[in-house]
Amino acid sequence: MISRKNKPHQVTLGDRVIVTQGLSRNFWLDLYHACMTASWPNFFAAVGGIFLLMNALFAVLYFLGDQAVTNVSPAGIVGLFFFSVETLATVGYGDMHPQTLYGHVVATIEIFTGTMSIAVITGVMFARFSRPRARIISSRHPVVLPWDGKTTLMIRAANARQNVIVDASAKLRLILAEVTVEGVPIRRLHDLKLVRDQHPILLLGWNIMHVIDESSPMYGHNAETLAAADAGLILTIDGLDETTAQTMQSRFMYTHESMRWNHRYVDMTVVDEDGGSYMDFAKFHDVVPL
């Protein structure tokens, strides 16, 4: 039987789902990562739940004292809860206040807890808001087609935010299921050399190309052999966002099933009678056979 500490965990790599187990997972040691990766609704729900729980706990502590707080309104645990809210937030309207040593000690602990909580939540909120988010997109289907007389693998990418990304760079890697000389099955990464691996100003689009020649790890492969090797592609694009001066990075993964052989991308650019250029990004993912 698997303990909660070592319960299975799903890892998603592109379209591939891998279940891992046997690793110790400690939520409290990885609390910052959990806060950064949680969705906004879950994050606010967690913060709100902790806020209510802490105030309820301190309200009970005040209630256990002998008239620890004076002028409690409304009387009872509800009034102490609202007093706790005021104290934890360091608001202190002045109507309700501690009147015993026990009440002052609990209030001191609560004020310290509230100050630390505000500092931590403010830091996490700032980190979440200031975290750079790239809006680089890539086509759903890599295509293989003749280009300049050479068989070429091509992936279309674009900057959906349409601001300037300076010195963008791209790396493309091929994953193949292979067997070593000793007969050990492995999944091996192969770097694919790009025709151009850098773009000085990524503003609109970028066709990322790899020539399949004798030096290419894809040489001699076709759709059937790549399927037999359970092939996949990993594309990473990064660069410096000119607006925020932060590094942007995007990762895309493709299976062999998403590749389109002897296809090309639909042209998105249209030039009108007056010489004006238009780009229709509704056609960004469209491919057609040669």
The residue written with tokens 């590094």 in the block is 247
Q: Do 201 and 158 sit in the same domain of this protein?
A: yes
Q: What is the pLDDT of residue 5?
A: 56
* pLDDT tens per residue across span 103-158: 999 999 999 999 999 999 999 999 888 877 888 999 999 999 999 999 999 999 99
Q: What is the pLDDT of residue 2?
A: 41
b/e string for 164-195 if b means 16 or more Cβ within 10 A?
bbeebebebebbbeeeeeeeeeeeeeeebebe
Q: Do 152 and 259 sit in the same domain of this protein?
A: yes
Q: Do 183 and 234 sit in the same domain of this protein?
A: yes
Q: Is the pLDDT of residue 208 over 70?
A: yes
CATH number at residue 63: 1.10.287.70
Answer for the pair 36, 42: CB distance below 8 angstroms, yes or no: no
* pLDDT tens per residue across span 196-205: 999 998 888 8
Q: Do 285 and 203 sit in the same domain of this protein?
A: yes
Listed residues 72, 103, 130: the one ending a domain: 130
CATH number at residue 265: 2.60.40.1400
Q: Do 211 and 270 sit in the same domain of this protein?
A: yes
CA torsion 13-16-17-19 (nearest 10°) is: -90
Listed residues 130, 153, 185: the one ending a domain: 130
Q: Do 144 and 285 sit in the same domain of this protein?
A: yes
In a domain, 9, yes or no: no
Q: Is the pLDDT of residue 21 over 80?
A: no
In a domain, 190, yes or no: yes
Q: Do 92 and 232 sit in the same domain of this protein?
A: no
Listed residues 105, 130, 155: the one ending a domain: 130
Q: What is the pLDDT of residue 6?
A: 64
Q: Is the pLDDT of residue 13 over 70?
A: no
Q: Do 141 and 190 sit in the same domain of this protein?
A: yes
In a domain, 29, yes or no: no
Q: Do 152 and 279 sit in the same domain of this protein?
A: yes
Domain span including residue 206: 137-289
Residue ranges of E strands in 90-142: 97-98, 136-138
Structural domain count, the chain: 2
Q: Do 142 and 283 sit in the same domain of this protein?
A: yes
Q: Do 187 and 107 sit in the same domain of this protein?
A: no
Q: Do 126 and 210 sit in the same domain of this protein?
A: no
* Mean pLDDT of the residues in the chain: 88
Peptide bond into 74 cis (omega under 30): yes
